[in-house]
């Protein structure tokens, strides 16, 4: 089962990797995927169509049709484990109910059209209703929530009867399972971006409907994990298709730039000039910035082996999302790293006329890259002083 935030962005390239993820999840025999914030950026129709193509259900108990108040996706799934026959006598095994809920703000990234169709019910009230229903049908109940840790603790402390609750969608680390205070509920945390696998061992009292003992940990995905040749081939194919899209995009940008230069046409759009140009007048700020992590953002990618991954460029270079910004290390090396213009905007016009002011960064500017999925929560007053 997966707790959510599995998908990436919304581009064609991201859709290729989403398609890969769903296929891999099917091969790994997932029992259900709880939809989170990132999934909803794809839109309802895309999610509905994708759910029909997978071997497991998409779970979202508190996401309902605004008109009918009925769940748009499956609220829960019931799985039976250990069912067997001995000497003609059938043993029913253990029935486990798995449900999923999303935070009420998960729909903020949806389109206006989808927002008019969807309503996000209170996850705690929804979970209480679902658990009441599952408790009559199942021996064990597992919940999944794409939400902040504080909300997960509140939900599991108020809703009785949940044996395990798996949380995703925030950067708070929880290396080992914890028992929620005042309950028997075990809270677990997914690793960010699938960098670690969760291992949980428990003994369950079927008659008492409770976990007797448990232990667990997050295990780093490294060379000790055996590789699957089929999945490796799927990854190579997806990467090839994604790289082809990126090459075409870069070729179009380069061609457009050369056409403008060949025709000697004036370019009235502000251009990125690089921090070296800023240093001419702001040397003290430049010197302080050069000692920050922003100034070495590309080196971070090199260490991770992702310096050629366009999916990382928007937050590790300057202006990648803009046609005037970073393209690649060969054509635009001067715009690698998170430079002045990544926060203040392209500075060519300011360079020509200092009366033309650049934007003053706000918390919202920083949150484009510093999301809960990528970094710890920002402390605006403190963190803005670390930039330069």
Largest Cα–Cα distance of the chain, in whole Å?
A: 90
Instruction: Output the pLDDT for position 317.
Output: 94
Which DSSP symbol is given to 42?
T
Number of other residues whose CB lies within 10 A of the CB of residue 322? 18
* Token pair recorded at residue 92: 């029913």
Domain boundaries, the chain: 12-220, 269-386
The list of the chain residues with pLDDT below 70 reads 1-11, 84-91, 170-173, 192-194, 253-268, 323, 373
Q: With respect to CATH, is domain 269-386 assigned 1.10.1130.10?
A: yes
The neighbouring-strand residues paired with 85 are 90
Angle of the 44-53 helix axis to the 12-27 helix axis, nearest 10? 30
pLDDT of residue 308: 77
Residues 148, 103: contact at Cβ < 8 Å?
yes
Secondary structure of residue 141 in the 3-state scheme: strand
Model confidence pLDDT, tens digit, residues 343-374: 999 999 998 888 888 989 988 889 888 877 67
Which of 82, 129, 106, 94 lies closest to 5 in space, CA to CA?
106
The torsion angles phi and psi of 168, rounded to 5 degrees, stand at -145, 175
Tokens of 47: 């999610």
pLDDT given at position 1: 47
pTM over 0.75: no
Phi, psi of 291 (to 5 degrees): -100, 5
- In CATH terms, is domain 12-220 a member of 3.40.50.880? no
pLDDT digits (tens, 9 = 90+) for 150-188: 899 999 999 999 999 999 876 566 778 889 988 999 999
CA distance 342 to 365: 9
């Amino acid at each position: 089962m997966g707790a959510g935030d599995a998908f990436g962005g919304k581009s064609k390239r991201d859709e290729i990797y989403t398609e890969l993820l769903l296929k891999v999840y099917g091969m790994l025999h997932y029992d259900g995927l709880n939809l989170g914030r990132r999934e909803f950026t794809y839109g309802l129709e895309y999610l509905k169509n994708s759910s029909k193509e997978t071997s497991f259900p998409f779970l979202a108990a508190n996401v309902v049709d605004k008109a009918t108040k009925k769940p748009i996706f499956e609220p829960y799934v019931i799985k039976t484990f250990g069912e067997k026959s001995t000497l003609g006598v059938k043993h029913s095994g253990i029935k486990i109910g798995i449900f999923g809920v999303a935070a009420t703000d998960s729909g903020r990234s949806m389109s206006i059209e989808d927002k008019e169709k969807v309503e996000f019910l209170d996850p705690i009230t929804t979970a209480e209703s679902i658990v009441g229903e599952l408790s009559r049908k199942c021996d064990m109940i597992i919940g999944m929530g794409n939400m902040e840790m504080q909300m997960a603790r509140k939900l599991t402390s108020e809703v009785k009867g949940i044996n395990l609750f798996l949380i995703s969608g925030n950067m708070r680390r929880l290396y080992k399972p914890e028992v929620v205070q005042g309950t028997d509920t075990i809270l677990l945390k997914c690793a960010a971006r699938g960098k670690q696998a969760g291992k949980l061992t428990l003994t369950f009292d079927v008659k008492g409907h409770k976990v007797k003992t448990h232990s667990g940990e997050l295990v780093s995905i490294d060379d000790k994990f055996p590789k699957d040749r089929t999945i490796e081939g799927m990854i190579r194919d997806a990467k090839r298709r994604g790289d082809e899209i990126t090459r075409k995009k870069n070729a179009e940008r380069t061609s457009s730039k050369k056409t403008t230069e060949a025709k000697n046409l004036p370019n009235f759009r502000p251009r990125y000039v690089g921090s070296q140009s800023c240093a001419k007048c702001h040397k003290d700020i430049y010197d302080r910035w050069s000692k920050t992590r922003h100034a070495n953002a590309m080196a971070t990618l090199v260490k991770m082996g992702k310096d050629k991954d366009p999916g990382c460029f928007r937050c590790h270079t300057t202006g990648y999302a803009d046609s005037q910004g970073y393209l690649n290390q060969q054509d635009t090396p001067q715009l690698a790293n998170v430079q002045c213009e990544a926060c203040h905007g392209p500075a060519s016009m300011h360079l020509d006329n200092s009366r033309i002011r650049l934007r003053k960064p706000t918390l919202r500017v920083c949150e484009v890259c510093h999301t809960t999925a990528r970094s710890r929560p920002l402390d605006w007053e403190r963190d803005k002083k670390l930039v330069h």
